Chain A
Amino acid sequence: GNSVTQMEGPVTLSEEAFLTINCTYTATGYPSLFWYVQYPGEGLQLLLKATKADDKGSNKGFEATYRKETTSFHLEKGSVQVSDSAVYFCALFYTGGFKTIFGAGTRLFVKA
């Protein structure tokens, strides 16, 4: 079936370190892919998205590239800040199911 697998957290980094959060998916057809971020005490908000193979989504210094050959959508940031501490969710939408499937979330802690 369709699914999203994220790397388990928590991920703990020092400020200005490089971030990668892995996300792989299983889906039929050509799903749309998303990264959402949830800051403490808040709801999820869209961070970036990509709708077709080789698309790169980017926002606030974060990037992710839709790789169909490896069925991946890894999230990267070159230099994290303390304010990036949050839970990050990878998600996909596939037309056949009419719903978005979320990964389990990866908690990121950034230390000053």
Chain B
Amino acid sequence: DTAVSQTPKYLVTQMGNDKSIKCEQNLGHDTMYWYKQDSKKFLKIMFSYNNKELIINETVPNRFSPKSPDKAHLNLHINSLELGDSAVYFCASSQGERYEQYFGPGTRLTVT
């Protein structure tokens, strides 16, 4: 059973479209995250939720909106996609913020 899963794995779309990425974890963790990784592998945290409550909201355009329907799920919706949004997006989870994180396989988003 996959611990942290993301769908879709690949997403190719045109500028201006709206898309969503889903994340689910079956580890029973209380904290979930979204990261953006650029082509140079630099990893930037975008959001963090603890028990469905938003605790980290980094400087991210408000076109990005996370939603946590329950502790096991954290989805990412992106409006009006731009070329610069092309990246790999990783979901992760942990039991509390201070402990190791478990990452999903990533979603490669390409905006054309």
Residues on B lying within 8 angstroms of A by beta carbon are: 4, 40-43, 45, 48, 55-56, 90, 92, 97-106
Contacts and interface: CB of A to CB of B under 8 A. Distances in A.
B105 to A, nearest CB: 5
B40 to A, nearest CB: 8
Chain A binding site: helix, strand, loop or mixed by DSSP? Answer: strand
A99 B106 contact: no
Contacts of B48: 98-99
B97 A100 contact: yes
Given A42-B106, A44-B90, A105-B42, A98 B100 contact: no
23 contacts: A32-B98, A34-B100, A42-B105, A42-B106, A43-B4, A43-B104, A43-B105, A43-B106, A44-B92, A44-B101, A46-B101, A89-B43, A93-B97, A93-B98, A95-B98, A98-B48, A98-B56, A99-B45, A99-B56, A100-B97, A100-B101, A104-B41, A105-B42
Interface of A: 32, 34, 38, 41-46, 49, 87, 89, 93, 95, 98-100, 102, 104-105, 107
A89 B101 CA distance: 13
Nearest to A47: B100
B92 to A, nearest CB: 8
Contacts of A93: 97-99
A104 B42 contact: yes
Nearest to A101: B45
A99 B35 CA distance: 12
